[in-house]
Amino acid sequence: MKKLRMAIVGLGSRGGGMLHAFYSKQKDIEILYTCDEYEDRAKDNAQFVKEQMGNDCRWTLDYKEVLADKDVEAVVVYTSWETHIKIAIDCMLAGKITGMEVGGAYSVEECWELVRTYERTKTPIMFLENCCYDRSELLALKMARAGMFGEIVHCSGAYSHDLRNEITHGKENRHYRLRNYLVRNGENYPTHELGPIAKILDINRGNRMLSLVSMASKSAGLEAYVNANKDTINPELIGKKWAQGDIVTTVIKCANGETILLKLDTTIPGFYNRDFTVRGTEGSYFQAFNGYLSGEDHSFNPVGFIRENLDSAEKYKDMLPSQWLNITEEDKKTGHGGMDGFMCRQFIDRAKSGEEFALDVYDAASWMVITALSEQSIAMGGAPVAIPDFTSGEWTRRQRKDVL
Amino acid sequence: MKKLRMAIVGLGSRGGGMLHAFYSKQKDIEILYTCDEYEDRAKDNAQFVKEQMGNDCRWTLDYKEVLADKDVEAVVVYTSWETHIKIAIDCMLAGKITGMEVGGAYSVEECWELVRTYERTKTPIMFLENCCYDRSELLALKMARAGMFGEIVHCSGAYSHDLRNEITHGKENRHYRLRNYLVRNGENYPTHELGPIAKILDINRGNRMLSLVSMASKSAGLEAYVNANKDTINPELIGKKWAQGDIVTTVIKCANGETILLKLDTTIPGFYNRDFTVRGTEGSYFQAFNGYLSGEDHSFNPVGFIRENLDSAEKYKDMLPSQWLNITEEDKKTGHGGMDGFMCRQFIDRAKSGEEFALDVYDAASWMVITALSEQSIAMGGAPVAIPDFTSGEWTRRQRKDVL
């Protein structure tokens, strides 16, 4: 068995977590480098690889050292939001098969550069959007493919995750969210909900996102949280004003007429919820209720149709991809209940086989750019902003490619 | 006991329903007129009043006949959407205490005319927004007043109601929704969710709505429904194209920095849901889960906080107004579980006592205008549209007035 020779760039909470939970357990890869801007992270994780995987693993603070090494075939990038695209571009230029962790873009231009670099180099790049591999999103995808929604007209999703502690206490105050929440205001983390929606709606493959509007609520959550936690908080944060609105609402219009609603909700008390919803003329899927609603006529009921009458989505679980049908206890430990492992397994398999990635550079660019465009729209009072066609027209004829 | 001498204008499903369920059972009112553009409705309901209430009740097709009668003290208007404001204006000009059923406005100008007519005549007018009197919305209002949300940053609501049968089959094809759905595209029914939100946020009383953006999905639900029901549907509807988008998403920005999200969802399969939600720095209310979430730190839980951990809102039911705490079986039969009766009881009581209505002409104008502005925003690709200040600055000093 030929091993894929990999490097991991970025070993904070996410990169380190994936190394420990998943990569270190794979028999068909070797981790040649651990790289991070912080020496402790790079060094400790190189030691961990040596102990767990048995191969020599170097550590470095400079990812260009990794890229210069001819032995490295593939690089996975788990760095700060600000550097995902820049480093991924350098990886492609160096000819390394690239896996890029999610985040939002800072400009439209950097997304174009990502796309153009891919088109010039043809270096394979996969966008590591793990929620596209999660159970309920995949069940909804399979329902869509089976026609159970009829014509889909609207999808919605959220990133509702109480991150007040992570943002303000952080990992040794190194967390990239902190600096972003202080000075930026926008839909800063769209891909967990947008990715699975985009796959269902065939975005960049027969459909595309045309424009968006975005509005932000005031920012009150983090200041209140800092004030309530003065004893444990970084004293520099006391009295600080935060640019990031607590709730950011974004509405996207698609070429085929669908609308997509996104909600960012990370700085006030809430429960974790991606609120993934698909609405069509013949049926709907509601993740928050784990329910499927058929297209039959509910009009005759004078008060409509209550949620208790939803079919449990579990009734349709046989439609799930085999990975989820046959999930093992080992799979479940790979991260977020299994989806992280299924995704990274696919990255490794296709890096070796050469099969096209289902989450490609056009997906990365068009999903990440929502952040930059949302900032623009908010700054202009909710003005509609055009979403670039990163495929330059190829979306009209590109064929569907589902993740699983 | 002096009886309030009333007339009912508009005796379709809503007006007739309220007459049968509520008005005919009140001992302290007399219904002097039933008026409708259709003779059968006017006539049959006059007969019903005579039989049930024992007083002579005239019927007419011309509401101006009602307004010319000096004996009539109060008029409640339950006509088609197109005529609520016009008839309410004529009622005020005639000096009749006015109750106006909800709906959306067709222009900004007619909302101004409503306001100016009130300001010139000072004829009392109440906006009959029944959901402001419903149980869960009032519980959330009381929670807000008790500070249980901390600083509120965002509210959302929906009108999710599968109306496909009503729109396309209708009541003898007289239904006003039909003609509106064929040619208009906007948030055509905002007040059921916006009203309770506006009361919580002190709109027109210390706060106001500044601007909105609105986007509509394609229209596919009604055409699919007509095609699936060709045997029973009005044949004129077969092959018709509908202007109304299936899902309309509207985001409103308020002077105090809050955002409000509204969703119209009436033409595809769905369950009845107003999805009333209040989000603050110290707590949240989720009607869809009947749950309250406290402001404690949920960040430490690595997957956040699941909805099963929500407090049941029932834990706080003692905070409800006395009407809901002491609701009787009779109350429950007055319409929509009781809220209609509580609202109309207040209309009658205050029409007699002269106490200021809590849902006034400024509420009516600013809530109804959302429809006209949503149409404008959608027509302009989601462009932000300014929401008029119908109080002309008085919102900065008007005092809070809650409904119950």
Q: How confident is the model at residue A172 (pLDDT cuts 50, 70, 90)?
A: low
The answer to whether residues A166 and B304 touch, using CB atoms and an 8 Å cutoff, is no
Strands of A125-128's sheet in order across: A58-60, A29-35, A4-9, A74-77, A97-101, A125-128
The answer to whether residues A67 and A75 touch, using CB atoms and an 8 Å cutoff, is yes
A304 to B259: CB separation less than 8 angstroms, yes or no = no
A258 has a chain B CB within 8 A of its CB: yes
Name the more confident of A191 and A290. Answer: A191
Q: How confident is the model at residue B296 (pLDDT cuts 50, 70, 90)?
A: confident
pLDDT in tens, A25-35: 999 999 999 99
Answer whether 0.95 is exceeded by the pTM.
Answer: yes
Instruction: From B74, B110, B79, select the one nearest B9 (Cα to Cα).
Output: B79
Does residue A179 register a pLDDT over 60?
A: yes
Q: CA B171, CA A179: separation in Å to the nearest integer?
A: 59
pLDDT in tens, B74-103: 999 999 999 999 999 999 999 999 999 999
Helix, strand or coil, per DSSP, at residue A200: helix
Does residue B300 register a pLDDT over 60?
A: no
Helix axes A339-353, A13-21, angle to 10 degrees: 80
Cβ-in-10-Å burial (0-12, 13-18, 19+) of B401 comes to middle
**Domain boundaries A4-129, corresponding CATH code:** 3.40.50.720
Looking at residue B297, its pLDDT comes to 67
- Residue B99 sits at φ, ψ, to 5 deg, of -115, 125
Helix axes B135-145, B191-200, angle to 10 degrees: 20
B305 to A154: CB separation less than 8 angstroms, yes or no = no
pLDDT in tens, A233-284: 989 999 999 999 999 999 999 999 999 999 999 999 988 889 999 999 999 9
B382 has a chain A CB within 8 A of its CB: yes
Interface of A with B in 174-193 (CB under 8 A): none
Please give the full DSSP string across A149-185, using - where no structure is assigned: TSSEEEEEEEEE---HHHHHTTTTT--HHHHHHHH--
Q: How confident is the model at residue B170 (pLDDT cuts 50, 70, 90)?
A: low
B162 to A304: CB separation less than 8 angstroms, yes or no = yes
The answer to which of A92-96, A155-159, A335-339, B355-359 has the lowest mean pLDDT is A335-339
Which part of chain A is CATH 3.40.50.720?
A: 4-129
Structure tokens at A145: 């493919």
Q: CA A336, CA A192: separation in Å to the nearest integer?
A: 12
Instruction: From B156, B144, B102, select the one nearest B316 (Cα to Cα).
Output: B144
ipTM: 0.96
Mutate to test the interface with A, among B153, B226, B275 (most CBs of A within 10 A): B153
Q: How confident is the model at residue B174 (pLDDT cuts 50, 70, 90)?
A: confident
Q: How confident is the model at residue B28 (pLDDT cuts 50, 70, 90)?
A: very high
A304 to B253: CB separation less than 8 angstroms, yes or no = no
Give the max Cα distance, chain B: 70
Choose the closest CB to A215 out of B213, B217, B224: B213
pLDDT in tens, A198-235: 999 999 999 999 999 999 999 999 999 999 999 999 89
- Residue A5 sits at φ, ψ, to 5 deg, of -95, 115
Does residue B208 register a pLDDT over 60?
A: yes
Q: B288: which chain A residues are within 8 Å (Cβ-Cβ)?
A: 288, 307
Q: How confident is the model at residue A59 (pLDDT cuts 50, 70, 90)?
A: very high
Structure tokens at A259: 């609308």
B269 to A153: CB separation less than 8 angstroms, yes or no = no
pLDDT in tens, A271-323: 888 999 999 999 999 998 888 988 876 655 444 445 666 788 899 999 999 99
pLDDT in tens, B213-225: 999 999 999 999 9
B13 has a chain A CB within 8 A of its CB: no
- Average per-residue pLDDT in chain A? 95
Secondary element (H or E) of residue B93: helix B84-93
Q: Classify domain A132-324+361-396 at the CATH topology level.
A: Dihydrodipicolinate Reductase; domain 2 (3.30.360)
Which part of chain A is CATH 3.30.360.10?
A: 132-324+361-396
